[in-house]
């Protein structure tokens, strides 16, 4: 700096630096102090080749400096291997590292393709990266050479996730030691090493503590390719040369300025890929608000690094997929999942911090708030969850997702995403309002509001709805389930919510909003919705013929059916609070024992579902089952005609459609069956297991029999 000042005064005595007194190429790229020896101390510690070959420029890109150095040197050392044809089957080494073939990228560079063509070519490679078959490894985690598979397409089955934590739960990668060269590191990670059971029982630390974690050496900060360890995933996979985002080099896309890169330094986007795949395999059928191709395309073009709101949405999505869809064999990883999800949520919130946040709302802002709500709801932080859900709904209202004229001029893809987001938010807001006694912001009925598509062309309403379902055949199942849920909550409008929250005039002697006539209308509406989804119809578009309920994914069947039974229980409780129930009413729905019939239908339906299909929905599913169970106890306390030894008679088939008339069952057996179901859900590791025990403790006869 003083030399520059002297030069300005005409008294500079400095001389140009030569190759003997300048930093080596590696230290220059990493921007760390170099001892200017050959090899220098920094390169010796990192196991890098110390060179002084690159010509100096006044300014260079920031980027992932260590990654680029190692990538360049590994390419030089493996040039023969890189010349393998792209059509050849991947080796077990590349398969175990989950690497993306870089041949297409190099071919694009040699032909000087445009960045758009390069990105399109790499989308297929990125999808192929996230589709390693679990059958490639045996039960001990060893590679099966004769059963290598490489799938470029995805399925909609929730249990086929190749990157789910169970795919790697019995594997671990050896950590490189100091002094190993990059070539030794590559060989060391080319196969899986089984770990002991004691190792698997220990949750991984929130951050890696080895030399590859983010830390400080000397006076400079070093950021690793894997800044932290994700739960139940190999620590070193994917990273380094296997990073699919390193495959898009500076020659293909314009370099990012350091000030424009908003992505958090301690999060490597590559480590989020498995959890994004978990979302599309397990959660997308019930929350179909994102497109796989669009998401991967935006990531490859580094939108998450230049758009803070998009990056925030991506972090929230990963945290959501990390905590909610936990399978039975993944329960031991729940503590580490919670730690990592909390860190991702913290980074998600940091990217959203802005004085003018919400002034120009985007769909990414809305989805980011929604994913934060889902994570907080799963951790039972309901006050914070309510704030995030209200934030998402308010942003959606500001953007105009509920207004017909807001959809004018949008592309078909964007219009579809807006509509799906509106439907997901309206269903979620009404269900959460019934759970937590909150008001709703999306007024009216979602099904009727969905007919705002008539504003585009009144003559093709049904055809447009049908195109929303069948525009993407792989996504048709998810959209069908969402429309069924929207139809289910269509009758829960703001008038019902005011009565539910106690804001009606019932305390003055009579409620004009929810009387006996309105209660019967609501029950009949729920019956029609149940019959329609079983037969494969949508009430607001009769000519559209979607898939019937039995042909949907099992997790969708669990979500829709349990939500419908739970909503019947909520309406029964509303009738109880308005004193509309009678012991011998002419209508089954207005009797005290109807709560027991709802619980019996729920138990009979859940007995046909797998536990994984219910657990994928998180603790919200356990809460609904618990609410239905509490309805039995409420009915017992409300009338002496209902007791533990009472045998329930079968209902008429049309009262609760789709429920087979099973044999007679006592109230005691019904409570025991629901108690087992709640206890089996995630092994009883949720708040509603203890709440159930506390609720049945109020029944002395039940406790005496249990004792």
Give Cα separations from 617 to 563, 611, 614 (angstroms).
Answer: 11, 11, 6
> What angle separates helix 476-488 from helix 516-535, to the nearest 10 degrees?
160
Q: What is the pLDDT of residues 579-597, one digit of tens each?
A: 899 988 899 999 999 999 9
Give percent above pLDDT 90 in the chain.
32
pLDDT on residue 510: 73
State the Cα–Cα distance between residues 229 and 472, nearest whole angstrom. 35
Distance from the first to the final alpha carbon of the chain: 84
* H-run or E-run covering 103: helix 103-111
pLDDT on residue 486: 87
Q: How many residues does the chain have?
A: 707
Phi/psi of residue 222, each to 5°?
A: -115, 130
State the Cα–Cα distance between residues 279 and 287, nearest whole angstrom. 9
pLDDT on residue 407: 82
pLDDT band at residue 69 using 50, 70 and 90 as cut-offs: confident
Give the CATH fold of the 19-60 domain.
CD2-Gal4 (4.10.240)
pLDDT at residue 209 is higher than 50: no
Q: What is the pLDDT of residues 681-691, one digit of tens each?
A: 988 888 999 99
pLDDT at residue 58 is higher than 50: yes
Which one has a higher pLDDT value, 47 or 123? 47
Q: Give the residues across from 221 on adjacent strands.
A: 216
State the Cα–Cα distance between residues 167 and 232, nearest whole angstrom. 9
Between the ranges 68-72, 268-272, 526-530, 648-652, where is the mean pLDDT highest? 526-530
pLDDT on residue 309: 95
pLDDT band at residue 341 using 50, 70 and 90 as cut-offs: very high
Q: What is the mean pLDDT of residues 37-56?
A: 84
Return the percent helix, strand and coil in the chain, to nearest 5. 55, 5, 40
pLDDT on residue 102: 38
pLDDT at residue 646 is higher than 50: yes
pLDDT band at residue 457 using 50, 70 and 90 as cut-offs: very low
pLDDT at residue 692 is higher than 90: yes
Query: Of the ranges 20-24, 204-208, 351-355, 511-515, which one carries the lowest mean pLDDT score?
Result: 204-208
pLDDT at residue 706 is higher than 90: no
pLDDT band at residue 94 using 50, 70 and 90 as cut-offs: very low
Q: What is the mean pLDDT of residues 367-377?
A: 96
pLDDT on residue 128: 52
Residue 604: how many other CB atoms lie within 10 Å: 16
pLDDT at residue 32 is higher than 60: yes
Between the ranges 38-42, 230-234, 279-283, 455-459, where is the mean pLDDT highest? 279-283
pLDDT at residue 222 is higher than 60: no
pLDDT band at residue 473 using 50, 70 and 90 as cut-offs: low
pLDDT band at residue 221 using 50, 70 and 90 as cut-offs: very low
pLDDT at residue 146 is higher than 80: no
Q: What is the mean pLDDT of residues 386-391?
A: 96
pLDDT on residue 565: 96
Which one has a higher pLDDT value, 309 or 208? 309
pLDDT on residue 257: 58
What is the average pLDDT score of the chain? 72
Q: What is the mean pLDDT of residues 560-580?
A: 93
pLDDT band at residue 137 using 50, 70 and 90 as cut-offs: very low
pLDDT at residue 183 is higher than 50: no
Q: What is the mean pLDDT of residues 627-640?
A: 94
pLDDT on residue 253: 56
pLDDT band at residue 151 using 50, 70 and 90 as cut-offs: very low
State the Cα–Cα distance between residues 638 and 622, nearest whole angstrom. 24
Q: What is the mean pLDDT of residues 247-272?
A: 69
Query: Of the ranges 50-54, 598-602, 639-643, 656-660, which one carries the lowest mean pLDDT score?
Result: 656-660
pLDDT band at residue 140 using 50, 70 and 90 as cut-offs: very low
Query: DSSP readout, 217-264?
Result: ETTEEE--SS-SPPTTS-TTSS-GGG-TTTTS-TTTSPPPPGGG--S-
Q: What is the mean pLDDT of residues 603-609?
A: 92
Query: Of the ranges 20-34, 224-238, 417-431, which one carries the lowest mean pLDDT score?
Result: 224-238
Q: What is the pLDDT of residues 268-297, one digit of tens each?
A: 888 899 999 999 999 988 898 998 989 999
Torsion of CA 693, 697, 701, 702, to 10 degrees: 0
Q: What is the mean pLDDT of residues 86-100?
A: 35
State the Cα–Cα distance between residues 56 and 546, nearest whole angstrom. 63
Phi/psi of residue 410, each to 5°?
A: -85, 150
pLDDT on residue 228: 43
> Start-end ranges of CATH 4.10.240.10 in the chain?
19-60
pTM of the model: 0.65
pLDDT at residue 87 is higher than 60: no
pLDDT at residue 211 is higher than 50: no
pLDDT on residue 49: 87
State the Cα–Cα distance between residues 50 and 44, nearest whole angstrom. 8
């Amino acid at each position: 700096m003083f030399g520059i000042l002297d030069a300005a005064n005409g008294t500079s005595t400095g001389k140009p630096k030569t190759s003997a007194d300048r930093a080596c190429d590696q230290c220059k790229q990493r921007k760390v102090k170099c001892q200017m020896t050959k090899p220098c101390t920094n390169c010796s510690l990192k196991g890098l080749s110390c060179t002084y070959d690159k010509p100096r420029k006044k300014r260079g890109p920031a980027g992932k400096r260590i990654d680029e150095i190692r990538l360049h040197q590994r390419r030089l050392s493996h040039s023969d291997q890189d010349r393998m044809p792209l059509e050849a089957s991947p080796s077990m080494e590349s398969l175990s590292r989950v690497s993306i073939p870089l041949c297409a990228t190099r071919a694009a560079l040699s032909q000087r393709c445009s960045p758009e063509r390069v990105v399109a070519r790499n989308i297929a490679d990125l999808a192929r990266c996230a589709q390693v078959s679990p059958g490639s490894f045996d039960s001990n985690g060893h590679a099966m050479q004769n059963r290598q598979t490489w799938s470029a397409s995805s399925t909609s089955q929730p249990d086929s996730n190749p990157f789910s934590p169970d795919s790697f739960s019995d594997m671990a990668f050896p950590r490189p030691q100091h002094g190993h060269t990059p070539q030794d590191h590559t060989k060391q990670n080319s196969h899986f090493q089984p770990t002991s059971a004691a190792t698997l029982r220990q949750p991984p630390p929130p951050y890696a503590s080895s030399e590859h974690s983010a830390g400080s050496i000397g006076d400079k900060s070093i950021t690793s390719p894997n800044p932290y360890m994700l739960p139940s995933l190999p620590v070193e996979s994917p990273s380094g040369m296997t990073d699919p985002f390193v495959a898009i080099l500076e020659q293909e896309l314009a370099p990012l300025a350091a000030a424009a890169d908003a992505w958090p330094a301690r999060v490597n986007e590559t480590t989020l890929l498995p959890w994004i795949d978990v979302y599309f395999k397990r959660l997308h059928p019930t929350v179909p608000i994102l497109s796989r191709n669009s998401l991967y395309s935006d990531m490859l073009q580094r939108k998450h690094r230049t758009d803070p709101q998009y990056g925030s949405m991506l972090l929230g999505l990963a945290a959501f997929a990390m905590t909610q869809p936990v399978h039975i064999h993944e329960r031991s990883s729940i503590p580490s999942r919670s730690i990592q999800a909390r860190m991702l949520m913290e980074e998600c919130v940091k990217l959203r911090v802005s004085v003018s946040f919400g002034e120009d709302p985007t769909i990414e802002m809305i989805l980011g708030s929604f994913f934060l709500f889902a994570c907080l709801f799963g951790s039972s932080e309901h006050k914070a969850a309510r704030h995030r859900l209200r934030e998402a709904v308010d942003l959606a209202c500001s953007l105009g997702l509920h207004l017909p004229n807001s959809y004018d001029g949008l592309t078909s893809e964007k219009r579809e995403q807006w509509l799906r987001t509106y439907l997901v938010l309206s269903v979620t807001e009404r269900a959460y309002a019934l759970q937590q006694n909150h008001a709703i912001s999306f007024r009216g009925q979602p099904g009727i509001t969905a007919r705002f598509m008539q504003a585009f062309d009144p003559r093709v309403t049904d055809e447009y709805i049908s195109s929303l379902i069948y525009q993407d055949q792989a996504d048709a199942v998810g959209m069908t389930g969402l429309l069924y849920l929207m139809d289910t909550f269509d009758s829960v409008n703001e008038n019902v919510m005011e009565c539910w929250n106690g804001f009606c005039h019932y305390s003055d002697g009579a409620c004009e909003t929810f009387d006996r006539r309105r209660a019967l209308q609501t029950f009949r509406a729920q019956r029609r919705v149940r019959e329609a989804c079983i037969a494969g119809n949508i009430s607001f578009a009769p000519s559209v013929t979607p898939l019937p309920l039995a042909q949907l994914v099992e997790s969708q069947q669990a979500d829709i059916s349990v939500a419908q039974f739970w909503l019947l229980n909520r309406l029964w409780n509303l009738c109880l609070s308005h004193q509309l129930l009678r012991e011998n009413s002419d209508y089954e729905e207005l009797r005290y024992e109807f709560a027991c019939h709802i619980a019996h239908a729920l138990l009979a339906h859940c007995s046909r579902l797998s536990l994984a299909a219910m657990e994928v929905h998180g603790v919200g599913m356990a809460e609904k089952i618990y609410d239905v169970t509490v309805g039995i106890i409420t009915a017992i306390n409300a009338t002496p005609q209902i007791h533990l030894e009472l045998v329930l008679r079968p209902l008429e088939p049309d009262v609760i459609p789709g429920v087979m008339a099973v044999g007679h069952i006592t109230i005691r057996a019904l409570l025991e069956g629901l108690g087992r179901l709640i206890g089996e859900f995630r092994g009883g590791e949720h708040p509603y297991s203890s709440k159930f025990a506390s609720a049945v403790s109020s029944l002395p006869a039940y406790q005496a029999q249990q004792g």
